[in-house]
Chains A and B, each alone.
Chain A
Amino acid sequence: NAGVTQTPKFRVLKTGQSMTLLCAQDMNHEYMYWYRQDPGMGLRLIHYSVGEGTTAKGEVPDGYNVSRLKKQNFLLGLESAAPSQTSVYFCASSLRTGWPETQYFGPGTRLLVL
């Protein structure tokens, strides 16, 4: 099993450009999550999904959109990138929510917006 994979690993964007981050998991997990991690701060949840075809807003959803057309994939989109979106983005998945809840994280995507 590859676990959780993320594409791309690193990207540089200019302000106003768009891009899509891809997350894939091969563990048949129902729940998938997108987080951002900024220096000196903990992870913050952007959006999440509780199953194929569903998405919901997390703590910091503004400026991002997501889609979960297939159970194994969770896409994060930036329609018009801003420098404030410079961050490291992590995708995670879990079999269930609540006790016990083990989230498996991907390796991250480093995004720099100029």
Chain B
Amino acid sequence: GESVGLHLPTLSVQEGDNSIINCAYSNSASDYFIWYKQESGKGPQFIIDIRSNMDKRQGQRVTVLLNKTVKHLSLQIAATQPGDSAVYFCAEKREGSYIPTFGRGTSLIVHP
């Protein structure tokens, strides 16, 4: 689960390992989900998205899995690299709505 207070959940992995970052979303009416990567001092960067009529979507080294039954989203990063170190957060929205809801984020630390 998420930490209470200002500290983000943290995932530490070794370079070359696979990483799995989890996100629990709150609105069962949400039908569109996006993962972002935010490096220190920079703006968020789009990674991958998925619609609610999908269970899985793959990109380059990343896979997003969606479990609507338990309202859970995960981002899998294959062969994690030091450059993957960042805060990752998910966003949910209802298609047609302009207002996304962002999670608090998970800090990924990749050790060389």
Contacts and interface: CB of A to CB of B under 8 A. Distances in A.
Given A42-B89, A104-B46, A105-B43, A99 B32 contact: yes
Contact of A59 (B42, B51, B96, B99): B99
Contacts of B89: 42-43
A58 B42 contact: no
A44 interface: yes
Interface majority SS (helix, strand, loop, mixed), chain A = loop
B22 to A, nearest CB: 15
B7 interface: yes
A100 B49 contact: yes
A103 interface: yes
Contacts of B45: 105
Contacts of A105: 43-45
Interface residues of A, number: 28
A34 interface: no
22 contacts: A39-B6, A40-B6, A41-B104, A42-B89, A42-B102, A42-B103, A42-B104, A43-B102, A48-B99, A50-B98, A58-B98, A97-B98, A98-B32, A99-B32, A99-B49, A99-B51, A99-B95, A103-B46, A105-B43, A105-B44, A107-B42, A107-B43
A1 B6 CA distance: 36
Interface of A: 4, 31, 39-45, 48, 50, 56, 58-59, 90, 92, 97-108
Given A50-B98, A98-B96, A99-B95, A40 B7 contact: yes
B105 A42 contact: yes
A102 B6 CA distance: 28
Contacts of A31: 98
